[in-house]
Each structure stands twice: as structure tokens, then as C-alpha cells.
Amino acid sequence: MFRLHLIPYGSKFDITGKSRTILSLAVFMVIVCFAFIMFKGLNYGIDFKGGYIFEVRMPSTPDITDLRSRLNDCGLGEVAIQEFGTKEDLMIKLEKSEEGSEQASAIKQIRDTLGDGVIYKRIETVGPKVGEELVSNAIKAVSFALIAMLLYIAIRFEWQFGICAIAALFHDCALIFGMFSIFPLEFSETSITAILLTASYSINDTVVIFDRIRENLHRHSKMALNELINLSLNETLSRTALTAVTTLLAVLALYLFGGKVIASFALPIMVGIIVGTFSSIFVASPLLMFLNIKRKEVEPEDDHRGTPANIG
């Protein structure tokens, strides 16, 4: 049966040999991202800064580009429009700018712009206090997710594996947050979802590699740890590459053909897949060399049981 291998099984790339250089680069990138976040901040969207949310049903299928242009002309701030069910049902979010009108006047401007025959299902005003709570909840969500993953990895493997996995996830989250600050992209509730998805994807890759390292720890008890980790990485490299490429292609399709709203959600996921794959290979596993991993003694003949079955 034909099996696709983007990277030939049995490759012998010296990944751990460059570990100090690559880990130094990873630390540098994290520091740069934190510097941007601290001094430049994030470009918070309507969900965090406050604004107006309208859920409406238009009398006919609207021209969203023209509608967005007319709402922008009102001078109320940034506008986000997305279909909400049918093509006639829209969710409209407008940022509350400092120069904007008072609440009643702003809502009247929006009503006048949308015209007659519009059914208003919901009109909400999001205040700054709600935005602060969202920021706080977002930080808690990411923190709790990292702690839960740390506990899972520590229980399934050993505490050293858990520390390395969380270090890699911290690297991933820092780079994604940094991306929103550096470019700057709008940071909204969907951005938090994208970050958590990135963490989930990255930890899945990391667990697969850690599983192979644990197997090889039993199979090759006399092998030097750096050689053993290098062997494990090369044995799982084809699977990691294939998973990353196929997932990227799926998310790329969403980015190119899903519209503006879906594209803003898909972009950080694409970056997250690349960053997560990098950290699983070049951060999480090489870090194990600097920790004292317990090596279980096995019978001499166990060292010659052969290499494990191919993954991917």
C-alpha cells in the first residue's frame, strides 16, 4: 500500500546538535514579542474596547462592502459586519471611538444609515468595564489551559516532560500574542480561540514525540540522551511534517475563500501551526537534554529489540 512520506523515514538530521543555537533564537523571539506587547500593546477590537452590537435582518440581501463603507462614513469608529445565519441576517459591530457621538445619537445614525424595513433583533452597548473583564477572562483561560496541560503531561510521562511541554506552549502563546502586537492585527474574542487552538495543536504534536522518546528510553537504555532524542525526532519527523502541511492546507482554504471574518480567524491559526510545529521539534524535545530524566534499567537483550514501528 502506498504511504506518503514528505520526509523519508529513517532520516538522520542532527536536530539536537543545533539545540543551543535554536533555543537561544526561541528565547530571543519571546523577548522581542514581550517587548512589543509591553511598549506597544495589543490592537483590541470592539469586544475589548467597547462599542455597539446590532443584530439585524435586512429587507433584502445587502452589499456588505457598500454597507461597511457607509457606516464608516458615520465617523463612529471601526466597523465589523458578518452574516449571521442567512444572507439577510447581519451582526454589525461598531467601535466606540473617543470622538464618536453619544449613545442615543450614534444609534440613530446607524439606524438612518441602514434605512427602512430593517428588523432589529438585538442592540447592545459594550462598555469598557466589559472589555476589561474579557481581557481578564482571556488571560485566565490561557493560564488554566496551560496548567491543565502541565498536569496531564506530568502524570502521563514525568514532571520533566511537563516542564518542557509548557515551556514550548509558553513560547507558542508569546509569539502569537506578539504577532497581534507587531503587525498589528485586531485582537478580539476569536483571537483567544485561535490561541487555544494553537496550544491544543502544539501539545498534540509534542505528546506524539514525547511518546516516542519514552519508548526509546526503554529500548535503548545505553544510548546517550542527545542521540536518543535525535533518533526519536527523526522517527516522528515525517508524521509531524505531514500533519502540519495537511492542516495548513485546510486552514489556508478558509483564509483565502472564507471571507474577511473567517480570514481574521484563520490567519493566527496558520501562524500557530507553524510556530507549534517548530516548538514541538526544536524547543520541547531538546530541552529534555538539560533535565535529569530517569533512565530505567532493562535487560541487555532488550537493547536489541529493533527500532519502533514507523509513525506517519
Q: From CA 161, how far away is CA 286, in angstroms rounded?
A: 11
Mean pLDDT of 271-295: 87
pLDDT of residue 171: 92
273-284: per-residue pLDDT in tens?
999 999 999 999
* 29/44: higher pLDDT: 29
Q: Which of 169, 249, 173 is nearest to 210 (CA)?
A: 169
Q: Would you call 299 helix, strand, or coil by DSSP?
A: coil
Question: Would you say residue 303 has pLDDT above 50?
Answer: no
Residue 307 has pLDDT above 60, yes or no: no
12 band by pLDDT with thresholds 50, 70 and 90: confident
pLDDT digits (tens, 9 = 90+) for 57-91: 888 888 888 888 888 777 777 777 877 777 888 88
User: CA torsion sign, 145 to 186 to 129 to 122?
Assistant: negative
Neighbouring-strand partners of residue 225? none
- This model's pTM is above 0.85: no
Handedness of CA 154, 157, 160, 161 (dihedral sign): negative
| Rounded distance between C-alpha atoms, residue 292 and residue 76, angstroms | 58
* Rounded distance between C-alpha atoms, residue 304 and residue 210, angstroms: 21
β-strand partners of 266: none
Local confidence band at 3 (pLDDT 50, 70, 90 cut-offs): low
Nearest to 236, CA basis, from 308, 284, 133: 308
DSSP run (H or E) holding 92: strand 86-95
pLDDT at 182 over 80: yes
Burial class of residue 256, CB neighbours in 10 A (0-12, 13-18, 19+): exposed
What does the pLDDT average to over 259-279? 87
- pLDDT (0 to 100) of residue 253: 93
For the chain, how far is it from start to end, CA to CA, in angstroms? 13
Condensed to tens digits (0 to 9), the pLDDT of residues 117-173 reads 888 888 877 766 666 777 777 778 778 877 887 788 778 778 888 888 889 988 998
Residue 70 to residues 52, 95, 119, 141, 188, Cα–Cα distance (Å): 16, 15, 19, 37, 23
Neighbours of 207 (CB within 10 A): 19
d(CA 210, CA 83) in angstroms, rounded, equals 43
Q: How confident is the model at residue 304 (pLDDT cuts 50, 70, 90)?
A: very low
Determine the pLDDT at residue 31.
96
Nearest-angstrom CA–CA distance, 44 and 39 = 15
pLDDT, tens digit, for every residue of 15-38? 888 888 999 999 999 999 999 999
Q: Convert the pLDDT of each residue in 197-252 to its tens digit.
A: 888 888 888 889 999 998 888 888 788 888 899 999 998 888 888 889 999 999 99
**The pLDDT value given to residue 78:** 72
Q: Domains of the chain by range and CATH?
A: 16-42+130-304 (1.20.1640.10), 51-126 (3.30.70.3400)
